[in-house]
Structure 1
Amino acid sequence: MVELYGRSWTRRELLARVGRLEQIGGIRQFACTDGAERGVELIQVRTGAGLSYTVSPTKGLDLSLAEFGGMPFSWQAAGGDVHPQYYEAQGTGWLRTASGGLLMTCGLMHAGWPAEHSGHAHGLHGRVHHTPARQVIAEGKWDGDDYEMKVSGIVDETALFGGHLRMHREITSRLGENTIKLTDTVENAGFEPSTHMMMYHFNFGFPLLTEDAEIVMPPGTVKPREPETPLAGYDRWQAPDPSYRERVYFHRPEAQEGEWVSAYVRQPRFPQADGQHRPLRMTLSWNTAALPQLVQWKMPGAGAHVLGIEPANCGMDGAPPDEAAAGRVVLQPGETVRYELELKISPE
């Protein structure tokens, strides 16, 4: 049964009331036509219960603008959904064409600061966010009286004599629910061991983030990236400050192997379309079996006004001499690793 508009509906009851399901929710595909976004493909998913988000096959099946009840809760970079043709892979060039949006995936062979490892130089956060997906499928399908929307595809990172990692991504939501489920399976499709680093760079922004917002990270240890950065305040937000310099915190959640953990942002006064305000909780959960670390990016600047919550299998420091300390993963030929994450919106 689909829960919508304060009651339960069967498939036939809903379809009798519309010309096509997309009147209520579903999947539609678009292409951008202006400026540096020209040629970027977008897939919009609407659950009918308030949640709407866009997936970009052109940018690694990452998530762009996300809204609840017509109000945004993700952060968008000034450049927008810039086409990967403008991507600069060296150094920190990634910053010029990073879209922001709800999710920018960092990987597959590298995440974090520019570094050299496995005999190759890697720019900031790797290539996957700027790699178009192939074999993309976007479909909605009834399963009895439940309607599931799924976007899936494959993203390859490969180079001659440089390894071959392949990511198969599935993003699913259900009609009447305000949840996004993301499952990635990364395979070493090559024939030599390959370094594999993965960081899920979720970006939350205004009006979810205001001075009233409550930020709660999973229980565990936390330390700032720079020793001089105060620990106090990582769980609070503030008004935009043009002079603010980013603060990064490393969390190590307390969890048994394979246990799920959660971080959430609670906004006590999230705006509604009717001008009223209601409490809203945005909860990001993930399986720690493959993502044991968590990076928090706090950036309440002006323009760059964003909170990054970033489950990872690695740190931000690329590949320091002590590779074990960096938490790097090496995939053997044919080996796979599975990542599971879920974002749930809960009006209160």
Structure 2
Amino acid sequence: MKLYGTTWTRREIEARVGRIEQIGGVRRYRCSEGPEAGTEMIQVRTGGGLAYWVSPSKGLDISLAEYGGVPISWQSGNGDVHPAFYDAGDDEWLRTASGGLLMTCGLTQVGSPCAEAGRKFGLHGRIHHTPARHVSVVAEWLGDEYEMRIRGVMEETSIFGEQLRLTRTISSRLGDNRLNIDDTVENIGFQPCPHMMLYHVNFGFPLLAEHTVVELPAARVSSRDAAGDLDSIRTWQAPDPGWREQVYDHLLLPDAHRDKWPVVAIRNPDFPCPAAGTRQISAELSWDPATLPRFVQWRMPGAGVHALGIEPSNCFVSGRAEERSKGTLRMLGPGETVIYRLQLNIR
């Protein structure tokens, strides 16, 4: 493995530590007070600077993420609220959404609240507030590489309704500032089922600063709002108390991403690193466009909600009813599966 600028064998590392957790590893925690009480967390430290907290209580989504002890993700004012407080109606999702590096939206509804065939669907669906079953944490040597994996299963089911299962694996290696997300969604029912999926990946201060640059892949871009400024989607700015969120839809150009994954790179030339002043870092999010052909850019440089969301998806965010009316609603047949793959790399 490559660690601290040197290539090591397993035995060379083991000779230098009492336990591998001295360098990095995985630990499990449980929150103990307020609306977060009972929420479980799994901390992953790669030893290369990247650390992140995965919550089995909330869909194996990722809360705080840090590089060198400095946050790169955005945290909502709600904190890591226990899912028992979740209200699925209308936009009540906003009261218990954690923010963090990843909030998964779906599995049968993404975006604005809507009604369809007599059923009401709230903002962004239920999966972010669905606790995981069969959670396993594995940290093991694979030759001279030390790999850490978290795996679990979430199900969105209803009697006479949807029967979808999400199996998620999150993995990193010691000394490597990358995390991988590998998801499989399966229709375990016996009727076709609507399936909407969006990965709400959230970046925040101090990665986001006035000199931060956002590099975007080739896509057709449109603004949800008439006031949307396409010139601003590659820049950032100081907090503005009067700012209203802006949402941009990006439809990837297939020819540009036929042989490679699209990458959104957030580059800060003066990221604060303790004991080392500042340095340039890049947070690079990439994903498989075969199953995630779109992404949404949520731009919110407001005061108090100061966040940039990059959201690979199989839909946009107008809600299930509109996707169906446009003929773009993804349907999963009985027994059908779809695989999603994403990677975050900190350089």
TM-score relative to the length of structure 2: 0.97
Q: Confirm or deny: 8 A CA contact 2:135 2:151 kept in the other structure.
A: yes
> Matches of 2:201 and 2:325 in 1, distance apart?
25
Between 1:71-80 and 1:320-329, the stretch displaced more is 320-329
Partner of 2:139: 140
Partner of 1:150: 149
> Matches of 1:116 and 1:188 in 2, distance apart?
22
Partner of 1:247: 246
Written as runs of structure 1 = structure 2, the 5 A alignment for 1:37-116 is 37-116=36-115
> Matches of 2:338 and 2:118 in 1, distance apart?
23
Give the root-mean-square deviation of aligned CA atoms: 1.3
Secondary structure in structure 1 of the residue aligned to 2:57: helix
Partner of 1:286: 287
Secondary structure in structure 2 of the residue aligned to 1:13: helix
Cα displacement (A) at 1:324: 6.4
Written as runs of structure 1 = structure 2, the 5 A alignment for 1:156-195 is 156-195=155-194
Partner of 1:297: 298
Secondary structure in structure 1 of the residue aligned to 2:207: coil
> Matches of 1:35 and 1:275 in 2, distance apart?
36
> Matches of 1:308 and 1:131 in 2, distance apart?
21
The structure with more helix, counted as a fraction of residues: 2
Secondary structure in structure 2 of the residue aligned to 1:260: coil
Cα displacement (A) at 1:272: 0.6
Summarize deviations over 1:263-290 as a string: whole Å, max 9, x none. Answer: 1100000001115000001100001111
Is residue 2:189 matched to residue 1:202? Answer: no
Cα displacement (A) at 1:323: 2.1
Summarize deviations over 1:111-166 as a string: whole Å, max 9, x none. Answer: 11111236532100000000000000011011111111000000000011121100
> Matches of 2:110 and 2:322 in 1, distance apart?
16
Q: Confirm or deny: 8 A CA contact 1:158 1:165 kept in the other structure.
A: yes
Is residue 2:5 matched to residue 1:6? Answer: yes
> Matches of 1:56 and 1:40 in 2, distance apart?
7
> Matches of 1:15 and 1:34 in 2, distance apart?
38
User: Kindly, what percent of the aligned residue pairs are identical?
Assistant: 53
Summarize deviations over 1:153-183 as a string: whole Å, max 9, x none. Answer: 0000001112110000000100010001101
Cα displacement (A) at 1:77: 0.5
User: Residues 326, 282 of structure 1: CA spacing in aligned structure 2 closer, same or farther, 3 A cutoff?
Assistant: farther
Cα displacement (A) at 1:255: 2.6
Structure 1 residues not aligned, in runs of 5+: none
Q: Confirm or deny: 8 A CA contact 1:317 1:326 kept in the other structure.
A: no
Cα displacement (A) at 1:13: 1.0
User: Residues 329, 3 of structure 1: CA spacing in aligned structure 2 closer, same or farther, 3 A cutoff?
Assistant: same
> Matches of 2:118 and 2:193 in 1, distance apart?
11
Partner of 1:277: 278
> Matches of 1:171 and 1:222 in 2, distance apart?
30
Q: Confirm or deny: 8 A CA contact 2:110 2:320 kept in the other structure.
A: no
> Matches of 1:135 and 1:326 in 2, distance apart?
36
* Aligned AA (1:302): A
Cα displacement (A) at 1:65: 0.3
User: Residues 118, 310 of structure 1: CA spacing in aligned structure 2 closer, same or farther, 3 A cutoff?
Assistant: farther
Cα displacement (A) at 1:223: 0.9
Q: Confirm or deny: 8 A CA contact 1:259 1:289 kept in the other structure.
A: no
* Aligned AA (1:90): G
* Aligned AA (2:271): F
> Matches of 2:5 and 2:300 in 1, distance apart?
38
* Aligned AA (1:77): S
Secondary structure in structure 1 of the residue aligned to 2:254: coil
* Aligned AA (2:86): Y
Q: Confirm or deny: 8 A CA contact 1:171 1:180 kept in the other structure.
A: yes
> Matches of 1:253 and 1:48 in 2, distance apart?
34
> Matches of 1:290 and 1:324 in 2, distance apart?
21
* Aligned AA (1:214): V
Between 1:312-321 and 1:39-48, the stretch displaced more is 312-321
Cα displacement (A) at 1:6: 1.6
Cα displacement (A) at 1:230: 2.6
> Matches of 2:162 and 2:299 in 1, distance apart?
34
> Matches of 1:325 and 1:192 in 2, distance apart?
22
TM-score relative to the length of structure 1: 0.97
Cα displacement (A) at 1:99: 0.1
Q: Confirm or deny: 8 A CA contact 1:262 1:285 kept in the other structure.
A: yes
Cα displacement (A) at 1:232: 2.1
> Matches of 1:312 and 1:268 in 2, distance apart?
29
Q: Confirm or deny: 8 A CA contact 1:27 1:46 kept in the other structure.
A: yes
Q: Confirm or deny: 8 A CA contact 1:180 1:342 kept in the other structure.
A: yes
Secondary structure in structure 1 of the residue aligned to 2:107: coil
Aligned pair count reads: 345
